[in-house]
Structure 1
Amino acid sequence: MLTLGATGAIYLAVEPQDGRKGIDGLAGVVASALGRDPASGDLFVFKNRKGNRLKVLAWAGDGFALYLRRLERGTFAFPAAGGVGVVVTPAQLAMILGGLDPAAARSRKRYARPDPANPRTV
């Protein structure tokens, strides 16, 4: 089962990957391009060239799990970054999987409990 943010960070590989790559191929990309340990407990998200498929590589404690999401129409909104990978929050990944663009999303103003140590917030 895929649980967002249960253990570690979530890395998006910015460069599209060959959709034919499986667990071993994507684990190689994680190690070589992202410089991370694929068995670290982090989630690694990859898109294909068309942008209509996402693969999530996860370490499940005793082996790897590979999840695939395919859109019948449209593409996933991936953040444009200058590097090879970008770290996102579980909420941002949920937005991407749900068809929203995290870059265009804005947070609404929320109540924040006053901090008694800071007189400006009381």
Structure 2
Amino acid sequence: MRKSFEGLCGLVISVMQRQPTSGEVFVFLNRTRTHIKLLYWEPGGFVLYYKRLEQGTFAASDLNKGELSWSNLVLMIEGIQVVKSIQKKRYSLT
């Protein structure tokens, strides 16, 4: 968790094969899942969000899939774990 903007951008490019300026939010967790960093590009520059938990860990079960919805990301950061949920199918252009 020592990396800052440049180091995290390098990881996004080399490991994830993505562009850090794409507008996606990139999530980084430490091994013990007590620290989280979010890297996001907005017009004008990068935003780095960093949170350290004093107790407990972040639930990273959804991160293993490689992609995480915005609502699941917010729930993970707030420490809310949904045990069972059913998501209804919605119309999508893609």
Please confirm whether the aligned pair reaches a TM-score higher than 0.5, indicating the same fold. yes
Identity of aligned residues (%): 36
Matched, 1:32 2:14: yes
Task: Flag the structure with larger Rg.
Answer: 1
Give the total of aligned pairs: 88
Q: Equivalent of 1:107, from 70, 74, 86? A: 86
Give me the CA root mean square deviation.
2.1
State whether residues 26 and 57 of structure 1, in contact with CA within 8 Å, keep that contact through their aligned partners in structure 2: yes
Q: Distance in 1 between the 2:70 and 2:7 partners? A: 24
Name the amino acid aligned to 2:48.
Answer: L
Higher helix fraction (1 or 2): 2
From 72, 85, 91, the counterpart of 1:92: 72
Q: Write out the 4+ residue segments of structure 1 that deviate beyond 2 Å after TM superposition.
A: none
Shift of 1:69: 1.1
**Could you tell me which amino acid in structure 2 is paired with residue 48 of structure 1?**
N
TM-score normalised to the size of structure 1? 0.64
Amino acid at match of 2:70: P
Question: Which amino acid letter does the alignment assign opposite residue 52 of structure 2?
Answer: R
Q: Secondary structure at the match of 1:93?
A: helix
The equivalences for 1:1-122 within 5 A come to 19-79=1-61, 81=64, 86-101=66-81, 104-107=83-86
Alpha-carbon distance, 1:106 to partner? 1.3
Secondary structure of 1:68's counterpart equals strand
The runs of 5 or more residues in structure 1 that have no matched partner are 1-18, 113-122
State how far apart, in whole Å, the 1-side matches of 2:77 and 2:86 are: 18
